[in-house]
Structure formats: C-alpha cells, structure tokens
A and B are shown apart, each in its own frame.
Chain A
Amino acid sequence: MNKREKEAYLREYGVLKSQGKPFFPYAIAKDSVMAIMVMVVIITMSIVLGAELGPKADPTSTTYTPRPEWYFFFLFELLRVIKPPALVPLATIGVPTICLILLFLLPFYDRGAERRPERRPIATAAGIFTICAIGYLTYLGAAAGPPTEIDIPVPANVRSQGSAAVANFKSGEQVVAQSGCAACHKFGENGNAGPGPSLTRVGARLPAQAIQRTLINPTAPMPSFATLSEQSPKQFEQMVGFLAALK
C-alpha cells in the first residue's frame, strides 16, 4: 500500500466506523452469546467424553502408542509424507519453521490494498490450500490408528532351526507389536510406511549388533529403548532376534 492508498483506507474506515454502533452493548451482546455457547460446548464435552486416564507411564513397558493430541497429527503426518532420511530434519523442523516464518511475515509481503477475498485470488487460494492440506494430513493421522498388530510369516531359515527358534521369533514379534514400532515402521502388510524405514527386511540390511545399537541409541524421532534393554533384557533380546531374522 502506498501513501495514497493508506490515506484512502483510513478515510473510508473513519466513515464506516462513525456509522457503526457502540461496542457496548451491541458487540458485547454477540460476544456474550458466543461465550455462552463456548461454555456449553466445553461442559457438554466434559460430561459426555469424560477425562479418562490411560495406564500409568512406564519407561520399561512395551505397550504404548506414540500418539500426540489430534491437532498435532498434521505435523506428525508431515514426517510420513517426506520419507528420505536426509530430508527428515527438513520435514520435522524445516517445513514447519518456514511455514511459521511465512505466517509471521504475511503482512509484510502481502501489502496490496485489496481486502476482498475474491479479488485476492493468490492469497485466498493459498489459504484454502493450507486449510485443505492441514485437514487432509489430520485426517490421515486420525485414520492411521494405533497399530499394535504384526503378522509376518515365519521365515524359512527360522523354521528350519526347530520349534524353539519359531517360538522365540513369535514372542519377539509380539514384543515389537506391543512396543508401537508399527506406528512408524512397516512390517510386511502391517504398520505405517513412515517416518521410519520399512523393517520388512532389516535383517538383510543390518546385523543384530547394529539393530541393537539402533534401539539403544536411535536417531530422532525414534525413541530410545535403552530402559527396556536394562530392565527386561530377555524381551529386548527377543525383539532384536526377531528383527535380525527378517530377511
């Protein structure tokens, strides 16, 4: 906006304002109706939905699903959409940071005098696109669900080692399923295809040692399972054995 446009806006606004009504009681009345509706909604949600607690936090337990509050789903989904590991930092902080900076600076790069949405097609389209993108990512996050089931056929080389090896494989599979790994990894048909790499064939890629190191000292955003290895080494071993057998 140049000086003339600013002047014109202020003049026009002055006239509109002088033709308006006083804030009290006209705007206050609407605000109060809205405040009552907000209160009613919150109270109804509290009564209907309650405030249940899950089981107590337990750093050694392996039955968790790392799920944030629903309005963070879109950030978490961004991790899934952008897969190559080199780009993960970009997805986690890069894109949100850039979006935030763009949001902060909006009034400084969109300086046109026009205010009607239908005459600002770029701004309006960008706004609608952003809303759709966030809505879609939130929907994806909500639909992904907390996966706690893994169903992988026992590999031939495990079967050939006898029933003890198969039992070990099965219990390892269960530990992994309960640990919520499938929230970020794909195991055959189960699990989500990101943000972590597919683990259907980790055993072919990594030796047991390397898998163990990853679990104890992972790269973010994967959580560390060091406490599990200290407090229930048997389960931890089964988990590593299961992953190493996936070839």
Chain B
Amino acid sequence: MAKLKTPTLPSNPLTSPKRPGKAYGPSTPLEHGAEAGITAVDWIDERTSLSGGLRWMMFRKVPKGTNWFYTLGSATMFAFLSQAVTGVFLAMYYDPSATRAYESIQHINNDVFLGEFVHGMHKWGSSVMVILIFLHMGRTFFFGAYKYPRELNWVIGVALLVMTMTMSFSGYLLPFDQRSYWATIVGVNINGTGPLVGPYLSEFLRAGPYFGATTLSRFYAIHMLLVPGAIAALMGFHLYLVAKLGTTAPPWVRAKSPDALREQKVSDL
C-alpha cells in the first residue's frame, strides 16, 4: 500500500528562543548563575507542568479588606508542621513499649542534645495548635465564611478539629507517667459509655478488654501514623478549596456598585 511520506522535522526544534531583553545571552557570572537556575527550573517544569499550579496558588487575588484574622488558618498549619518536625525527632528516641516508654522519654529529657527543648516544643506546641484551631474556627464562624459556596470547607474543618483533638488524646498517654496513664484510662472508660459504638471504640483503643502492653503501641501507631496522615491529606484538600473558592472578604466590606466602578475606571484613564 502506498505510504504517505512523513513530513520532515523542523530544522532545529530544540533551541528555544532567546529570553526577551537579552540580545547576547548571559555575560556576567551572576547572569550565568541565573541562567543555570532558570534552566533547572525549566527542566522540571517541562516534565511536571507544576508552574501553572504554583502560579494559580500564589498569584490568586485575596479580596479587599483581608486582615490579620485571615492568618489564623495558616498559623494553625504552621503549628502542625512544627509538631510534625519535632515529632519526627522524638520518634527517633522513643520506644513504645510499656516497660521502656517512660525511660526513653527520660533519656530524651536528660541525655539527648536539646532533647528536653524539642520535647517541650512538641508538648506546648499541641496547646498552641489547639488554641489556634479554635480561634480560626471562631473567625470563620463569626465572618459567616461557612456559607455558600464554602460549606464543604467547613465540614472538612470540623473533621480536622476532631482529628486534632484525637492527636492530643492519643499523645497524652505516650510519656507513660502516672498522670497520662490514669487520665487515659478514665478517658477510654468515658468513651466506653457512649451509645452503640462506645464499648467497641474503647475496646479498640485498649486493644482488648483491659489496659495492657499493646495499648501503648496502639496509641503510638494512631498518634504518629494514622491520624497525622489523615490530617495532612485533609489539610491539603482544605487548602485546595481555599485557593479554588478564594477566601471571603470580611462581611462588612461591600463592593462598589458597577456604576461607581465604571466611573472610577473612567476617571482613572
């Protein structure tokens, strides 16, 4: 069968046009450095197309009137990141066994370089995160930010709140001192009084009918794998929706009427 000839390739499809404004290419060392950076970024972008998403996230507009109350969400996220980083360092030394847990934390406090400092950051960071998440929730509540079209973001937010409280509850047992041990027993018992799922939930948390050696490793797995993973995933979705829908303007800020706008445009000319 007759075959069509494949068209010839363009003479040199690979050289990109010169960047505007630079007729002779980079000349100073600084410009060479910049060129190298641009080339590397281009290489990645050619294969991932990430720059579009980044631009979409960073150069979206936030409405007029956005104030300091709008930083509470990202502050919560920052507290979470701090918890994640300090938590990783604690996990390097922590031993989730009923016989060794307490000693391993003592070891962190007494022997490890900056151990008590990082432990303290993790411990107090949890309080800071809880305060920030409540402030952020209060802000979105009083600003009516949960209304159309951001209902789903509110629902995700409540799920994040529940998981943050779960983190504090499960983390409280891990030092395995008297206070955390008995408070957790009472807490698990309280869960057990709940309707329907209550007894199953407390049995799941205890890993059996009694508080035992596996309880601690179960709490450890919940605290450092299960819930943080879920929080990170939901946080990503929360932020995606924030960028997609845009953040609200404060409820008392009003847009100028289109007529006033048109007049402003005309007078700006």
Contact = CB atoms under 8 A, between A and B. Distances in A.
Interface of A: 1, 6, 9-10, 12-13, 15-24, 26-28, 30-31, 33-35, 37-39, 41-43, 45-47, 49-51, 53-59, 61, 63-72, 75, 79, 88-89, 92-94, 97, 100, 103-104, 106-108, 110-117, 120, 123-124, 127, 131, 180, 220-223
B137 to A, nearest CB: 9
Interface stretch (B4-12, B18-26, B27-35, B251-259): B251-259
Contact of B178 (A47, A61, A221): A61
Contacts of A94: 195
The 6 closest A-B pairs by CB, nearest first: A46-B120, A93-B194, A115-B144, A57-B181, A107-B151, A115-B251
B177 A54 contact: yes
A13 B63 contact: yes
Given A17-B61, A19-B64, A64 B179 contact: yes
Given A21-B62, A45-B124, A93-B194, A103 B158 contact: yes
Given A23-B60, A72-B187, A89-B194, A15 B255 contact: yes
Contact of A53 (B64, B65, B122, B175): B175
Given A107-B155, A108-B151, A56 B102 contact: yes
B194 A27 contact: no
B182 A71 contact: no
Question: Which bracket fits the contact residues of B?
Answer: 35 or more
Contact of A223 (B74, B145, B179, B185): B185
A34 B177 contact: no
B179 to A, nearest CB: 5
Interface string B137-172: 010011111111111001100100110010011001
Contacts of B172: 68-69
A57 B176 contact: yes
B147 A110 contact: yes
Contacts of A19: 63-64, 255
A17 B176 contact: no
Given A15-B261, A50-B120, A68 B177 contact: no
B120 A64 contact: no
Given A23-B57, A68-B172, A120-B144, A53 B109 contact: yes
B181 A72 contact: no
A57 B178 contact: yes
Contacts, number: 257
Contacts of A113: 147
A124 B194 CA distance: 30
Interface in B52-96: 57-66, 68, 70-72, 74-75, 78-79, 82
A7 to B, nearest CB: 11
A89 B138 contact: no
B178 A54 contact: yes
In this complex, the member of A51, A112, A115 whose beta carbon has the largest number of chain B beta carbons within 10 angstroms is A51
B144 A57 contact: no
17 contacts: A16-B64, A17-B249, A38-B82, A42-B79, A46-B120, A46-B121, A46-B124, A51-B123, A53-B102, A57-B178, A59-B211, A67-B179, A69-B172, A89-B195, A107-B146, A127-B138, A127-B142
Given A13-B246, A34-B75, 8 more contacts: A34-B72, A46-B118, A49-B124, A51-B120, A53-B175, A56-B176, A61-B178, A117-B142
Contact of B74 (A31, A50, A54, A58): A31
Select the residue from A10, A33, A107, A117 with max chain B CB neighbours within 10 A: A107
B193 A106 contact: no
A71 B165 CA distance: 9
Interface in B232-252: 246, 248-249, 251-252
Contacts of A114: 144
B147 A57 contact: no
Contacts of B117: 46-47
**Which of B63, B161, B192, B254 has the most chain A CB within a 10 Å cutoff?**
B63
A222 B121 CA distance: 32
Contacts of B142: 117, 124, 127
Most chain B CB atoms below 10 A, which of A27, A67, A116 = A27
Interface string B185-216: 11101111111001000100000000100000
Given A19-B63, A35-B78, A53-B175, A69 B168 contact: yes
A39 B78 contact: yes
